[in-house]
Homo-oligomer: A and B are copies of this chain.
Amino acid sequence: MKLSLKLEYACRAMAQLGLVYGQCGLVHVDSLADNERIPPNYLVQILNDLRNAGLVRSRRGKSGGYALARAPEAISLREIIEVVEPDLLEDRVVGDGVCGETVANVWREIAASFCMSVDSYKLADLMPTGRVEMYYI
């Protein structure tokens, strides 16, 4: 399963936000970037996309930062993929030539089962459960 760095970053950042969900404090980009080893400048773009999609909310200025817009159990992995790498969910098969149709049909089935799979995973499944070493700022 070839997943892009961008998608992995998004999953990790969301999981990290999930860990502090309910503590009603916002997390800074730099904090997220440090904890998950993500280039800060790149993470900003990803968080921006997630915010525009309504998965994350943010505030500017001093004591600004990011937080989940919903509970980790209410956000599916599929929603994250949809924001960051929508092509992974759509089945883009050309379907040209004599066997194009049948080949495309098979891939459509495979894609459908993949979609169902990522839809059943929730953000909570991406979060570590036990005691986690975290550095709050």
CB < 8 Å: which of B15, B114, B117 contacts A99? Answer: B15
CB < 8 Å: which of B11, B91, B97 contacts A35? Answer: B97
CB nearest to A129 among chain B residues: B102
**Copies of this chain, how many?**
2
Q: Are A96 and B127 in contact (CB under 8 A)?
A: no
Number of A residues near B (Cβ < 8 Å) is 47
8 Å CB interface, A1-48 against B? 1-3, 5, 8, 11-12, 15-16, 19, 35-38
8 Å CB interface, A77-107 against B? 77, 87-94, 96-103, 106-107
Q: Give CA–CA (A37, B94) in the complex, Å.
A: 11
Q: Are B107 and A3 in contact (CB under 8 A)?
A: yes
A15, chain B: closest CB distance, angstroms: 4
Q: Are A126 and B102 in contact (CB under 8 A)?
A: yes
A-B contacts, 26 listed (Cβ < 8 Å): A1-B107, A1-B110, A2-B87, A2-B90, A3-B107, A5-B94, A8-B103, A8-B107, A11-B99, A15-B99, A15-B103, A16-B99, A19-B98, A19-B99, A35-B98, A37-B100, A38-B97, A77-B106, A98-B128, A99-B127, A102-B127, A106-B125, A106-B126, A110-B118, A110-B121, A113-B117
